[in-house]
Structure 1
Amino acid sequence: MGKVRIVGGGLTGIIAALQAHRLGCRDIELFEQYGELGGSLLPRTDHGLELRQTRHYFGTRGDAQRALLEWHGVAFDDFDNRCGSVSPGAGGEPAFVEGFGGPSLAARQTALVEPAGESLADRLRAYPHDIEQALSRYCQWSLGVWLDEVHESAAGPLGIGRVHPRAADTTTLAELKRADDLYDALYGLPGHMWGRTQGSQASLPRDGFAGLFAAAGRALAGLGVKIHLGSMISPREAIAACRPGEALVWAAGPAPLYKAVGVTAPKPLVRSGAAYVFKAKTELKPFWLQNFTASGAVFRISTYESRGETLLTAECVAEAGDAELRREIRRLMSGFGQVQLKEQLLAAVEPRQGLTSMAEAKATKALRGKLAQSLGPAFVSGCWSAERPEDAFARIGSALAAALEPAQQVRTATAA
C-alpha cells in the first residue's frame, strides 16, 4: 500500500497515522514542527500539574476516536458531563441554567427563517428579533468585529450552536426539533426537559493529555511510523512528492499552503484571549459553564482534576486583574455551587481557536479546489474549521481510504 505523509503532530495528525495503519499502510511519516507531539492540546505543566487553557473532552466507550486510541494503549475515565450557562435574566439579574451549556434567553417567539448566507450575522438573523439582538450583543462582546465578517462555523467555538428559549413550551419545542432540521440545529433544551441523555457522559484520558500524547507517541513508534520532531516538510516538497495511491494529510493549519498553490492568503480573524489557571476547592469537577451575559471578562470556566489536585481554568475575552477575576469567577459559579480559589498557576494570552472569517472560509474553499485539481483524492485536509470530533474522524478515515485505494487496486491486480 502507498505511502502516507502527515504534516502536524497534534491529535488530528496522530489519529490520521493510526487510521492509515489500520487501513493497511505500513509506510507512514509524521512531521511535527515542535519538539513534542500534542499541538494545541499539549498542556503546560507546573510541578506535574496540567494547566489546560481550554476545555476538551472525549466521548464515552464506543466513540470511534476514543476506541482507536484505547486500542493503542490510551486509558480513559468516564464522568458525568456536568455543565451550565449564565445568561441575561429579568431585571438585569443573571439566569443560571444547569445541564445546558448554550445561551438560555427569554423569547416571545420561536419562529425561524432559513439563513440567507454563510456569515455569523446571517445565522443570527434566522432567529426571532429578541434572540438575535441578545446573541449579537454577546458576539460583539466576545469578538469585537462586524459579525458579517465572521463565518457561521464560529457559532460552535462561541458556544451558541443552540439556543434555549426559556419562555417556549417545552413539549412544542421538542416536537419541532424532532420534526425540523433547522429547529434542531438552532434550538436546544436541557436534556432533563425532554429525556435526551446524549452528551450527559464524557471521558478524559486517565493519565492526562500529556500522558495521552506520550502513549500515542510510543504506539506510533511501535507501529513503525517515522516521527520527525522539530521538523516540517515544505508544502511544495510535500505536494511534489505525492504520487497516486499515496496520501498527504495536512493536519496543521492551512496558512503555509496558500502560496504553494497560488491562492491569495486571506486576512485571518485575529482575536486573542487570556486564560488563567487556579488551584481550587469545589465539588463541581469536572464541570464547565459559559457566560452569555456579555459582561465582565470571563466567557468560559472549566474545572478538572490533575494528579489529585482540583484546577480551574477561566477563559477570558481580555486580560483581567487578579482581584476582579476572582470576584467574577465566584459570581458566575454561585448559581451552581461554591468554589474557593487558591493560588494562580498560569496567565497566558494566545490566539483563540476555531474562529474563521468569511475571507478565510472563501480562501480555504479555493485552496481545497486547487489541491483537488493537482492531487485529487491524495490530499486529505485536517480540521481547518469548527467540526465535531466524530465528523472529523469519519471524514479523514474515508478520505484516507479513498486516497490509498489505487495502490490497493494495483496490488490486487498484480497478485491476480
Structure 2
Amino acid sequence: MSRVKIVGGGLTGILAAFEAHRLGVRDIQLYERFDQLGGVALPETRLGLEMREGCIYFGPKDDPIRTLLEAYGPTFEDFDNRFGSVSPDGAGGVTYVDDFGGPALPCHGIGLTPPAGPSLADRLNAYPSDLRDGLTRYARWHLGHDLKTVHGDAAIPMAINRVFPRGSNLADLAEIKRHDALADELYAIPRALWGRTANLTASLPKGGFTGLLRRCRLALEAIGVTLHDQTLVSPRQALTEHASGEVLVWAANPTPMFKAAGVATPKLLPKSFSTHVFAAAWTGARPFYVQNFTAEGACFRIYIYESAGQTLLTAECVRESPLTELRQEIHHLLRGFEGELVLGDVLSTSIKPRWVYHSLEALQGLAQLRLALADRMGDAFVAGAWEPYAKGQKFAEVNAGLARALGVEAQAAAA
C-alpha cells in the first residue's frame, strides 16, 4: 500500500505518522480538526507557562515512544520519578506512602476470589472485604457511576489497579505475587519495600509539551508528511473516499465512526473534572505527584512541575470546590511528604468532561465496530488503539496494525 491517511493529530496520530515513515511510506497525509497538533497532550499556555491537566510522562532512554520521537528530532530530560499516595489508615486518619502511587489500605488477609465478571464491581469484589469496601467507596466517589456498568480496566486510570495491603506479611505477599498471576495483577508492594527498581527514572520533553509538539510538526514537515490543519474529516467521508492501496488510521475519537459503519452507538460514561493550576513554591522533588485515595474532599490528584523556570501545581478534582477549602486540602495531602509548600495565585481553572472510563457497553460496541470495519476494509483500516489506557500499549497496538497493513514483518516493524 502506497499511502497512509491518518485522521487525528494527537500524540497517537503523530506517532503513527513517524512510524509509517520509518516503515518506508512516503505519501503520508495527517488530518487535524484544530489549528495545532497535540490533542489532549497540548496544554493551554498562559504568560508563557503550561497549564497541564493530567500527568503525562515518558519513559527512560530505551522507552519505545521516546526512541521513535528522538529519531526525528525531539529531545527529552530524565528525572528521578517521585510520587506518593494518601490513603485512609483505618482509624479515622490517613497514611502517607512515598514512591507508591496506588492505595495502601489496612487489611487482615490477602486471599483473593477470581472475578466473577468483567465489571469494575467484579474486580473489586475479588479482594478481601476490608480492601473491597475501601476501594468501592473510592471508586464511587471518583466516578459517580454504578460500578457494575464500568469495565474493570477503569481501575488503571483511577490508579486502583494494584493495592498495597498494609499490615500483611511482606514475605508472604511477595511470594504470592511471584506465583499467582491474579495476586500479581491486584496487589502491589511499594518499591522501597520490594527492592524493585522499575520506574525509578522517567522523562519529560525539553521545552515542555508545546516545544515537543512544535518540534514534531517541524519534523513531520521535513520528512514530507502533508499536514491538513483545521480539516474535519467525517467518518462517512473517510470510508467512502478510501482508495485502493491506502491505509486509513483513525486516531481520532471513534464515537462518530459507529453510525458511519452501521453499528449502534454505545452509551458512554461522562465524567467531568474540575482542574485548578496554581503558582507555587515547593522545596521537595519536582516533578512530583500525589494520589488521594481517602474519598474525602474534592481533589484526587496533585501534580507539581516546572514550566519556563516557574513551579506550578495542578489540582485535579472530582467536583468543584471553594478555593479556600481546596487550598487547605492541598496542604493536607502534601503534609506527609518531604517539602514545604507555598501556594500562590490561581492561574487557570477549567471544568471539562473526560471520556476516559470505559463502560461495558462501550467496549462491546468498540469490538463490534472493529469487526464491521475489518469486514469492510480488512487490514487497510487501523484503529487508533481506542481501548487501552497506557501510552505504551496504544503505541504497540497501532504499530502492529500499521505493520500488518503495510505487509511488514513484525520483527522488522519493532527494530
**When the two structures are superposed, what TM-score results if normalisation uses the length of structure 2?**
0.96
* Partner amino acid, structure 2, of 1:400: L
* 1:376 alignment partner, one of 370, 375, 378: 378
Map of 1:414 onto structure 2? none
Unaligned runs of 5+ in 2: 409-415
3-state secondary structure, aligned to 1:92: coil
Map of 2:215 onto structure 1? 215
Map of 1:43 onto structure 2? 43
3-state secondary structure, aligned to 2:157: helix
Map of 1:349 onto structure 2? 351
Spell out, residue by residue over 1:41-76, the C-alpha distance to the aligned partner (whole angstroms, 9 max, x if none).
100011100000111000000101001111111110
Q: Is the 8 A contact 1:42 1:209 kept in 2?
A: yes
Q: Is the 8 A contact 2:270 2:355 kept in 1?
A: no
Spell out, residue by residue over 1:255-308, the C-alpha distance to the aligned partner (whole angstroms, 9 max, x if none).
110000111111110110100000111123110010000000000001110011
Matches of 2:199 and 2:183, distance apart in 1: 19
Matches of 2:68 and 2:128, distance apart in 1: 43
Q: How does 1:122-133 map to 2 (within 5 A)?
A: 122-133=122-133
3-state secondary structure, aligned to 1:301: strand
> Which stretch of the first structure deviates more once superposed, 38-47 or 383-392?
383-392
* Partner amino acid, structure 2, of 1:389: K
* Partner amino acid, structure 1, of 2:323: D
Q: Is the 8 A contact 1:246 1:403 kept in 2?
A: no
Q: RMSD in angstroms over aligned alpha carbons?
A: 1.4
Map of 1:154 onto structure 2? 154
Shift of 1:253: 1.1
Shift of 1:245: 4.5
Matches of 1:136 and 1:90, distance apart in 2: 15
Matches of 1:84 and 1:362, distance apart in 2: 35
Q: Is the 8 A contact 1:244 1:378 kept in 2?
A: no
Map of 2:72 onto structure 1? 72
Shift of 1:243: 4.5
> Which stretch of the first structure deviates more once superposed, 361-370 or 10-19?
361-370
Spell out, residue by residue over 1:140-194, the C-alpha distance to the aligned partner (whole angstroms, 9 max, x if none).
1111111001111211111101100011111221122122221111111111111
Spell out, residue by residue over 1:5-55, the C-alpha distance to the aligned partner (whole angstroms, 9 max, x if none).
111000000000000000001111011111100101100011100000111
* Partner amino acid, structure 2, of 1:97: V
Matches of 2:283 and 2:199, distance apart in 1: 21
* Partner amino acid, structure 2, of 1:364: L
Matches of 1:106 and 1:39, distance apart in 2: 40
Map of 1:339 onto structure 2? 341
Q: How does 1:95-114 map to 2 (within 5 A)?
A: 95-114=95-114
Matches of 1:318 and 1:210, distance apart in 2: 28
3-state secondary structure, aligned to 2:5: strand
User: Percent identity over the alignment?
Assistant: 49
3-state secondary structure, aligned to 1:157: coil
Shift of 1:352: 2.4
Map of 1:182 onto structure 2? 182
Matches of 2:350 and 2:201, distance apart in 1: 30
Residue correspondences, number: 407
> Which stretch of the first structure deviates more once superposed, 97-106 or 190-199?
190-199
Spell out, residue by residue over 1:326-358, the C-alpha distance to the aligned partner (whole angstroms, 9 max, x if none).
000000000103211001101100012421111
3-state secondary structure, aligned to 2:265: coil
Map of 1:230 onto structure 2? 230
Matches of 2:138 and 2:287, distance apart in 1: 25
Map of 1:322 onto structure 2? 323
Shift of 1:90: 3.4
3-state secondary structure, aligned to 1:305: strand
Matches of 1:246 and 1:20, distance apart in 2: 12
> Which stretch of the first structure deviates more once superposed, 241-250 or 224-233?
241-250
Matches of 1:387 and 1:93, distance apart in 2: 32
Matches of 1:55 and 1:126, distance apart in 2: 29
Off by >4 Å, runs of 4+ in structure 1: none
Matches of 1:200 and 1:174, distance apart in 2: 20
* 2:369 alignment partner, one of 357, 367, 371: 367
Shift of 1:237: 2.2
Matches of 1:390 and 1:92, distance apart in 2: 38
**When the two structures are superposed, what TM-score results if normalisation uses the length of structure 1?**
0.95
Matches of 2:342 and 2:211, distance apart in 1: 28
Q: Is the 8 A contact 2:268 2:355 kept in 1?
A: no
Cα 1:122–1:245 shift into 2, 3 Å: farther
Spell out, residue by residue over 1:216-249, the C-alpha distance to the aligned partner (whole angstroms, 9 max, x if none).
0000011111111110222122123335543111
Matches of 2:283 and 2:244, distance apart in 1: 55
